Structure 1
């Protein structure tokens, strides 16, 4: 099958910079018109984002310092997958426990997206977690400053609508859930 006429050919690839969590990759590419140019992008492992509901239907959120934007950010628990993760659900359960100290009775897949595929190879897998209860202490990474809070789904939606909640992963996960989850799924909170 011939390549799509829009596709680029990778001529050369090297890692320009590496640090814990991601790499910056530099590629020499050939464009459809034959022009060769450089293209840089961020490369990172797949990650999981969890929309965790308590048995009472509240959402377990985190408030975390975000150095890049210089403020505390409210959002959903998110974390990268590890090489020894058996599956994405195991990664979601681990990240939920590490960041919030909560465990879920059940998890279900919500959606998988490429949140910034113009500048990154990131893939994010969203899950809905139900029956979340605190069972242990947080196990934060050395560079995480996280406070756990609970709020209603309605409050999250209101914060998204007003622009007060700006975390893209949270906006996407909550909005997708609100738009596409069935009423039966929503009542199962």
Structure 2
């Protein structure tokens, strides 16, 4: 079996450098010597996801409009970091409270996932927040209009199978998180 090799960066330039969208065009040399001169990379910020579960074994979801697909989606709470030095756990708890009004004293990081590592640079930090309780009202950004949904944990898989829950990052986080819960019992 041939040993896999990394690609070599020949040169790189930022083609879009906006605070909401950064795209880099790299020229790369493949292990076979071929050169690809237009390999585009999306520079995306890390995201903190939180699988929050209430004392009644309900998963806390957000339902919101997503402009790019022109539709409404059910997802677990998630968001970017407010500052370069904000740690993932702080970001997860902040996003949970801002988007839903819920918080938890029992939070644990359970995974680091990658959504599209062929073109995207970011990591998805997944946290499990158990015994989440309502502590405040939502504190939404200007682009957010969010409906909070509490879905019993035993209904999650059927909602994924039916397509009601279909955002890949949330589906992956749910399967990973629910499996983690099973192994902790």
Superposition TM-score, scaled by structure 1 size = 0.88
Are residues 1:128 and 2:128 paired?
yes
8 Å CA contact 2:65–2:72 kept in 1: the answer is: yes
Listed one character per residue, the Cα deviations across residues 122-172 of structure 1 (whole Å, up to 9, x for unaligned) are 210111101211212222222122111111112221111222311111110
Task: Map 1:90-109 to 2 at 5 A.
Answer: 90-109=90-109
The answer for the alignment partner of 1:42 in structure 2 is: 42
The answer for the alignment partner of 1:149 in structure 2 is: 149
RMSD (Å), alpha carbons: 1.7
Q: Once structures 1 and 2 are overlaid, which stretch shifts more, 118-127 or 11-20? A: 11-20
The answer for the alignment partner of 2:6 in structure 1 is: 7
Counterpart-to-counterpart distance in 2, 1:31 and 1:183: 41
Are residues 1:115 and 2:151 paired?
no
The answer for the alignment partner of 2:25 in structure 1 is: 26
8 Å CA contact 1:61–1:75 kept in 2: the answer is: yes
Counterpart-to-counterpart distance in 1, 2:34 and 2:84: 41
Counterpart-to-counterpart distance in 2, 1:123 and 1:170: 14
Alpha-carbon distance change, 117 to 183 in structure 1, aligned in 2, over 3 angstroms: closer
Q: Alpha-carbon deviation of 1:86?
A: 3.9
Q: Once structures 1 and 2 are overlaid, which stretch shifts more, 173-182 or 68-77? A: 173-182
8 Å CA contact 1:85–1:91 kept in 2: the answer is: no
Superposition TM-score, scaled by structure 2 size = 0.90
Q: Alpha-carbon deviation of 1:183?
A: 4.9
Q: Alpha-carbon deviation of 1:59?
A: 1.0
SS in 1 for 2:68: coil
Counterpart-to-counterpart distance in 1, 2:180 and 2:78: 21
Give unpaired runs (5+ residues) of structure 2: none
